[in-house]
Amino acid sequence: MPVRTKPAPRPDTLPPALRRTRETFLAYLRVECGLSANTLEAYGRDLRDLLADLHRAGVQKADDVTPRALVAHVASLSSDRRLAASSVARHLATIKVLFRWLHAQGRIPENPADYLDQPMRWKRLPNVLSPKQVRALLAAPRPDPEAGDEAPPLWVRDRALLELMYASGLRASEVGTLALADVVRDLGVLRVTGKGDKQRLVPMGVPAREALDRYLADCRPRLAREGTRGLGRVFLSRTGRPLERVAVWQIVTRHARAAGLEGVHPHVLRHSFATHLLAGGADLRTVQELLGHADVATTQIYTHVDRSHLKDVHRRYHPRK
C-alpha cells in the first residue's frame, strides 16, 4: 500500500523568512543565472518540497537548518514519496545550490549541505529506435480520408515536424519555439534556441527540408490567421497558434502508435538522432554541438547504446582480430 504523505504547505503559508528565501533565490536563478523557464519551474518544485518539510520540522528561517534536517528530507524522498534515484539526485542538486548561495551571500554562517553526499546515479540508457522503426514513424502521417478539401492537411505538418526532429535532434520545446526566421533555407540549417537561450546551428538534411518546404507551401498558409500570436512561428496548431510542447508530444506519440511503436516520445527521436550519428562514425564533440549539450559528459551516454560500430572497427583494424 503506497505511503501517504502530508500535502506540502502552500508557499504563502510558510514563515516569512523562508518565503523570502525562496523568492530571493528564484529571482537570483532567473536574473543572474539566466535559467530557462522549465529549469526554474523544476527548481521551484524542489524548493517548495524542501521548505515545506523544513517548516514541518520546526524550521522558521535558513539559520535554523541543520544537516540532520536535510538528511531527513532527502531520506523521505525515497522512503515516503518513492521518488526515483534520478529525481532524488535532482532534489539534492537543488539543495546544494541553494545553501551554497546562502553561505556565499553571508545569510548563514555555515553550509549544512556540505555534509550531504552525492548519491551514485545509475545511468539509464535511453530508448532508441532502429533506422527501420524511424522510417515507419516518419511514414505514419497520412491524409485523413474523412477530412474535406477545405481542411488544412495537418498530416503534412506532422510529417515535417517528425522529419525535422529526427534530422536535427530537436527537443519538443525547441520545435514549438522555432521561428520562420530561424530557417536558413539557402544553407539548409536551422537556428535553434535551446536551454538557457543558447543558440546553435543544426543541418536539416534533404528529406526534412523537402517535408518542411511542402508544409510551408501547402499547409501553414491555411493555418495562419491574422490576429494570432503564431504568425512568426513555423509550426502552428489547427487554430493558428504556436504548437505547445504538450501538443508536440501528442503528435509524436499518436503517430508512433499508428506505426506500431510503443514508448516513443519526442526525446526518443533526439536519442535516435544522436545514436545513429555516432554509429555512423560521427565524433562525440560534433554530436555534442548538434545536441546543444554544455558538457560532453551528457553526450557520452550515447556511446553505450550502440556497440556495433565499435565492434566493427575492432574487427577490421585490430592486428589480432
Catalytic pick among 43, 166, 215, 302 = 302
- Please give the Cα distance from 113 to 92 (Å, whole number): 9
Least Cα distance to 33 among 19, 48, 47, 43 occurs for: 43
293 in active site: yes
Q: Tell me, yes or no, if 215 is annotated catalytic.
A: no
CB atoms within 10 A of CB 190: 24
**30 annotated active-site:** no
* pLDDT attached to residue 225: 76
Range(s) within the chain of domains with CATH label 1.10.150.130: 11-115
302 is an active site residue: yes
Render each residue's pLDDT in the chain as its tens digit; 321 residues: 343 444 444 445 788 889 999 999 999 888 888 777 888 888 889 999 999 999 998 889 888 898 888 988 888 887 788 887 778 888 888 898 999 999 998 889 989 888 786 554 445 556 889 999 999 999 999 988 776 666 788 999 999 999 999 999 999 999 999 999 999 988 999 999 888 788 999 999 899 999 999 999 999 998 887 656 556 899 999 888 899 889 999 999 999 999 999 989 999 999 999 888 888 878 888 888 899 888 777 777 776 655 555 556 556 665 665
Can 270 be counted among the known catalytic residues? yes
- Among 45, 214, 222, 293, the one annotated catalytic: 293
**Is 276 one of the annotated active-site residues of the chain?**
no
Radius of gyration of the chain from Cα atoms?
24
Q: What is the sign of the dihedral through the CA atoms of 234, 238, 240 and 243? A: negative
Catalytic residue selected from 195, 222, 265, 309: 195
pLDDT value of residue 4: 40
Whole-structure pTM over 0.85, yes or no?
no
Topology adopted by domain 11-115: DNA polymerase; domain 1 (1.10.150)
Give SS3 for 144: coil
Encode burial over 229-249: b for 16+ CB neighbours within 10 A, e otherwise: ebeebbbbbeebebbebebbe
**pLDDT of the residue at 12:** 55
- Catalytic residue, from 73, 159, 233, 270: name it: 270
Which residue's C-alpha cell is 491574422?
Answer: 226
Q: Exactly one of 30, 48, 214, 267 is catalytic; which is it?
A: 267
CATH 1.10.443.10 correct for 131-314:
yes
Q: Which residue among the candidates 91, 171, 209, 276 is catalytic per the annotation? A: 171
Residues of the chain with CATH 1.10.443.10: 131-314
